[in-house]
Structures are given as structure tokens and as C-alpha cells.
Chains A and B, each alone.
Chain A
Amino acid sequence: MKIIKILLVMLAIPLSLQEVVADYKDGKDKSQVCAGCHGTDGNSQISMYPRLAGQHKDYLVYALEGYRSGNRQNAIMSGFAKGLSDQDIQDLSEYYSMQKGLKTLPER
């Protein structure tokens, strides 16, 4: 009987740990909304809007979650981020992080 319990627990662990897996292609499709300001590949040509191309994925996730929760304030981005699911945030961040653009500052 104990063995069955242990087996059930072992089966339940992977299910509970299931994470959202980012999808590049979906991210590309979903990014069309963002392209108006951030450019088609995240290399925004409008100086007041940040480039996203090549940015670290986990930073993009952190930023989007911040806009969604209200931790980070921006009239335009709050509106867009409120409608995003965790899956959307993963997909978009995956797509933009894979584009060529931003770089780490050079060492002196």
C-alpha cells in the first residue's frame, strides 16, 4: 500500500513542475503587435522606444511581468501587458532575445 502511495507521489511531481515552454515561432507571430513601436525584429528606429533585439530573455520576461503587475509603470506598456499570458511573455521574450541587436557594454 505504501509503495502505491510513493508511486503516486512520484507521478505527481513532474506534473506539478510543468513549466511554460517558450515557442520562438509563436513569439514571432505574437510580436506583430509590438512591431509598430519596437520594429519588426525589435530594432526600434524610434529613439524613445527601447530596442529589444538581442536583450537577455529573462530580463525581457522580468520587464513584461513588471508591466503586467504594475510594478513597472508605463501608460502604453501597461495596456499591452495586461492582456498577456505567461505563455505569451515566454514566447515574445524568446523571439526578441534571439534577434541580433543589443550588446553588453565593452570593457575598457
Chain B
Amino acid sequence: MTDAPKPPRARPPLSRWRSKAPAILALIPAACVVLFIYIGAMVWTVRLSFSSSKMLPVLDNVGFNQYRRLFATERFNLSVEHIALFGCLFIAGSLVIGFLLAVFIDQRVRGEGVFRTIFLYPYAMSFIVTGLAWQWFLNPELGLQKAVREAGFPDFTFDWIVDQNRVMYTLVIAAIWQASGLVMAILLAGLRGVDAELWKATRIDAIPTWRVYVSIILPMIAPMLVTAAVLLAVAVAKLYDLVVAMTKGGPGLSSEVPAKFIMDNFFERSNVGLGSAAATVLLVTVIAIFSPWIYSQHLRPQGARR
């Protein structure tokens, strides 16, 4: 019962390195791509944000001028507010609705395959198609408002898409419609992995179904929720084509988002310097949000690794 003395930690013998060599060799191309393309492009963008580049890169140094101009630009400050609002509502809404859809399908309904396909179908469409279709649907003169009014409710209004204070919510609705299917697919895989014995046990204990889901199942599929949340967060940072297709920035500047600001400045306005500054700000924000999570997952000394 006594513990055998632990051997002193030694460096792995040379043969171990040799056996790892093929794996390391195989990873070198991917590592190069990550280093030169991902990280290299990021470094290049940050470098350009300190220059006065117009349409093509110019390697001078104007200090923080571009950043000063950036934070004095009303459009950029509004973009940041809008993306924060959109991000919170979109991720929360997609997770909730995706989870409810997954639970619904998990009840072994008849025609399960059909429902799954229907719910997943919107994800197959590009954001542009989604945006255009929802724009027509929400247009007060062409879509839902007109249809309901003609059906006999002349006072019905649903003109959120042309209302400065509400247009972001229309973007959230269209985006949730598109992404819930993906969340559903991911969570369904998790739900299906839950042991049938567990259900029998909960039935014996007479726990109500909703309580089982909230207190027992959700913690079990937490990694899948995190995966889904990360995928959704990526979509939030990239949000551009949905805005262009649905509102083009919305009434005035009320649905501007940072990615659209960056794209417009890089190309149409031939202002690479300002666009790079905005891209750098976006990068720093994403790093700031994700680094606590990455730290807790991978870098903590006695990491509770999953």
C-alpha cells in the first residue's frame, strides 16, 4: 500500500523524439501557415495602422494619428456599440433557441429527419441570401406589415427595419434564424450522447423533465455549448454581408458594424491606414475577450484539462 518512490523526471530518451519526428514534420506546413499567414498578416495590419496608407500600403510612421481619427469618427463608435448589442443578443438567442430545437427533436418525434433538415436548412444559405430575403420580408411597404394590413389589420406596424432604434434587432432576428440550426445540430449530438439509463434514473426519482434538462443535461453538454458559442462569436466578429444585404448600414448609421467600416475604408474610400486601425482595435478586443477563457482552459499550471 505504500507508494513506490516516484522516479525523478528525466528528459525523454532520444528514441522518443525520433518516433515523434514524422508527426512534427507533418505539422510543419500548418505551423508555417499559422506563423506567416495568420500571424504575419496580423502584424502587417498593425504595422499599416501606424502609417498613412491610402489605397496602397505606404510604410511611413504617423504615430497614433489614425487611432485618434478613428475614435473621433462617430461611425466607428456607433459600430462598436452595435456589434456589442448584436453579439450579446445573437449568441444568447441562438443558444437558447438552438437548445430548445434540439430538445424538441430529441423527444423522438415522428419525421425527425424532416424536422432536422428543415431547421438546419437556413444555415446552408449564405448571409447575403438571408439578408436579402429578410429585408424584403421586413420592408414595411413590401413584406409583413403590408400583408397583415391587407389581411384586415390596418393599424399593424412592424417597421423596425427603417427605425433607427430598432434596426439592430432585425439583424439579430435574421441572424438567429440562420444560426439556430447549427446550434441545434451541435447540441443534438450532445443530447444523443446522454445515457438512456440516466433518463430511467430520473424517472424513478420523479424529477420533472425541464428540471432534468436544466440541472443535469445542460452541465453534461457544456463543452458543446462552449463550442457553439465560439462558432457564433466568430460569426459576430465577421458580421458584414448580412448588414450589407439587409440594411446597408441602416437608416443613417444605425446598423453600422466594425467589419463594414473596415471594408468600406479599405476599398471604396481607399483609406487602408484608417481601416487597419479599426481592424487592430477589433483584434485587440477579440483577444481581450478570449484570453481569460484560453488561459483557464490551457495555460493554468494545474489545469483542470478537459
Q: Do A and B bind each other?
A: no
